[in-house]
């Protein structure tokens, strides 16, 4: 009987202590409940209703004990919290540097390089999802010919998980502006898949394999009955390669 009573008392004490923690997020919000798991990457907390919430460790300012909880479970209304919330609203920048092969079907392959600068949001809701748009500079060298484009594009970069290290998927769509009168631009599209490391709540580094597609209209000279004729024809320029991406 005494042993059973001891177990019940111990269980009650553990239950009370389990609900004596509050997570203070970098946005200034407080989440009160039981921390059921935490490591260097994530913190999982269960509130009084039994619902579980997961937060990246980089998004957690601190964990408060029962003695430190002197305010209600609401956003902190102080200058530091306001500054953090304002900082979270600022636009993020995505800089990408890439290089690879340049291919026109039916012709020998060449080389290519690319620089893209995109502006958007790197943190939407509670996800590190980048959505934005911007401009790039792409140079392709195929068979002695040089093609330069300025792609105007919208892009999305989405990690598969919210952990510090995660695979990431990306896509872009836009129009490549030709930088020469010898050819015309056209639709630009890109897709990539790689690995991302979240350095802090607003900064991440990624290395990805990508494939870019660029339409172009080029002038072709053909000889018919010993007479040269010029006409425009479409070409599809494909670039598979690797690029380094920095979110900041």
Taking only the tens place, the pLDDT of each residue in 160-183 is: 988 889 999 999 999 999 998 888
**Mean pLDDT for the chain overall:** 80
| pLDDT surpasses 50 at 80 | no
Let me know whether 105 and 74 are in one domain.
no
Tell me, yes or no, whether 130 and 243 share the same domain.
Answer: yes
222 and 136: one domain?
Answer: yes
- Whether residues 35 and 78 fall in one domain: yes
DSSP assignment letter at 57: G
Residues 117 and 215 in one domain: yes
The DSSP bridge partners found for residue 203 are: 200
Whether the per-residue pLDDT at 64 is higher than 80: the answer is: no
- Give the end of a domain, one of 55, 71, 87: 87
Which residue, 37, 53, 87, sits at the end of a domain? Answer: 87
Last residue of a domain, one of 87, 108, 124: 87
Looking at residue 84, its pLDDT comes to 45
CATH of the domain at 175: 2.40.160.20
Tell me, yes or no, whether 103 and 146 share the same domain. yes
- The answer to whether 245 and 207 are in contact (CB under 8 A) is yes
* pLDDT at position 83 over 80: no
Q: Looking at residues 207-235, what average pLDDT do you find?
A: 79
Task: Tell me if the pTM is above 0.75.
Answer: no
Percent of the chain with pLDDT over 70: 75
Asked if 198 and 192 count as a contact pair (C-beta separation under 8 A), the reply is: no
Place of tokens 């002038």: 219
Would the pLDDT of 82 be above 50?
Answer: no
CA distances from 155 to 11, 85, 194 (A): 52, 25, 15
User: Same domain, yes or no, for 44 and 151?
Assistant: no
pLDDT value of residue 68: 54
| 175 and 236 fall within a common domain | yes
CA 90/CA 123 separation, integer angstroms: 10
- Number of domains the chain contains: 2
**Residues 145, 241: one domain?**
yes
Q: What is the pLDDT of residue 14?
A: 45
Specify whether the CB–CB gap between 76 and 62 falls below 8 A: no
State the residue range of the domain holding 41: 2-87
Whether 184 and 241 share a structural domain: yes
Same domain, 44 and 110: no
Same domain, 125 and 240: yes
DSSP 202: T
CATH of the domain at 78: 2.30.30.100
More confident residue, 47 or 197: 197
């Amino acid at each position: 009987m005494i042993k059973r009573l001891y177990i019940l008392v111990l269980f009650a004490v553990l239950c009370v202590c389990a609900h004596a923690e509050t997570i203070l997020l970098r946005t200034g919000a407080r989440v009160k409940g039981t921390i059921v798991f935490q490591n260097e990457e994530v913190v999982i907390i269960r509130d009084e209703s039994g619902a579980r919430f997961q937060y990246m460790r980089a998004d957690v300012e601190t964990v408060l004990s029962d003695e430190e909880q002197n305010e209600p479970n609401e956003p902190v209304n102080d200058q530091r919290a306001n500054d953090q919330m304002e900082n979270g609203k600022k636009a993020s920048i995505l800089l990408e540097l890439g290089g690879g092969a340049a291919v026109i079907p039916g012709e020998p392959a060449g080389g290519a390089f690319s620089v893209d600068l995109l502006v958007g949001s790197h943190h939407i809701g509670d996800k590190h999802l980048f959505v934005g748009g911007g401009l790039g500079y792409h140079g392709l060298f195929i068979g002695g010919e040089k093609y330069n484009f300025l792609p105007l594009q919208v892009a999305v970069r989405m990690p598969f998980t919210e952990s510090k290290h995660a695979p990431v998927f990306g896509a872009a769509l836009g129009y490549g502006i030709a930088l020469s009168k010898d050819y015309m631009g056209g639709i630009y599209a890109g897709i990539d898949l790689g690995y991302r490391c979240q350095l802090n709540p607003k900064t991440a580094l990624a290395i990805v394999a990508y494939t870019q597609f660029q339409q172009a209209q080029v002038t072709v000279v053909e000889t018919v009955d010993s007479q040269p004729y010029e006409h425009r024809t479409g070409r599809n320029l494909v670039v598979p390669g690797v690029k380094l991406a920095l979110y900041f």
